[in-house]
Amino acid sequence: MMNENLNGILNVYKEAGWTSFDVVAKLRGLLKTKKIGHGGTLDPEVTGVLPIAVGKATRLLEYMEAAGKVYEGEVTLGFSTDTEDAQGKIISKSPLENEIPASEIDTAMEKFVGLIQQTPPMYSAVKINGKKLYEYARQGVTIDRPKRTINIHEFVRTSPVVYDSVNKTESFTFRVSCSKGTYVRTLSVDLAKALGLEGHMSKLQRTAANGLKIEEAVTLEQIESYRDTGKLSELIYPIGYAVSDLPQIDLSLDQMEAARVGKKFSEAEFTKLSALKAERFAALYDGKLVAVYMRHPEKEGIWKPNKVFG
């Protein structure tokens, strides 16, 4: 029997070896619901926060996928792989005869902060001519990929630099806060290139997304246990977490009642709206999401509801 009463966000800890789709499929059975989806794909070997939308929250998946993410990982300098991570085959080496100073690495990392151009890796799900890049890659075919603009909010080294004199490599951990569409393994490879070396991303974990943090993430086993003991509701976050990246505007009682029935607002009705540079905002009442508003495509200074939740 389907359970259609669950509405909200789950902070799931995705373990290595699972695809994001695997997690959704497993939860569809555990929660007995068809309305479920994830808020941003993680590669199978990447662990960490996988936001899951259930019920009415699935209407906000586009916002969850677009939200910025935070990752912690490791870069290894000295050789590159075909997949740009530790799971791939070594394709090129640049043995380090001497340690690269930490200050030189930090200076190079700083240059990646802000709006930058990035070329998607061949081992990715980006589609070109109706075919995913990894399908070309598995056939041994390399094709031109259009660059995309991404936004790196933070990219910092988080550990001392460790030099391996035997393997002629150097490793260090990092934290990156970035926009949708960022390939962190490509960022790692590009950092190595900026240092004049080969390199790859040797570890990665997503530590935050949609206002959810890894410290509170729960495993599939824990979710099943909470379900069996009737405590599943304790794990469900409000649907407002799905739009944590959007500007938040509090409504009065009258405004809330108007928003619930799809009323448009003018900038004059909100002092904050005239200064708002974003294209959308989350309208809340008493801390709960009532609607998501967007700029009217034709009427200047008017905001119209994009999603209404009541």
Residue-wise DSSP of 171-199? EEEEEEEE-TT--HHHHHHHHHHHTTS-E
Single-letter amino acid code for the residue at 166: V
Residues 6 or more apart in contact with residue 56 via CB below 8 angstroms: 7, 35, 239, 309
Residues 14 and 174: their CA atoms lie apart, in Å, by: 20
Single-letter amino acid code for the residue at 43: D
Nearest CA among 224, 220, 233 for reference residue 7: 233
Residue 164 annotated among the catalytic residues of the structure: no
Indicate the SS3 state at residue 112.
coil
- Which of 22, 43, 164, 190 is an active site residue? 43
Q: Are 125 and 41 in contact (CB under 8 A)?
A: yes
**Residues known to be catalytic:** 43
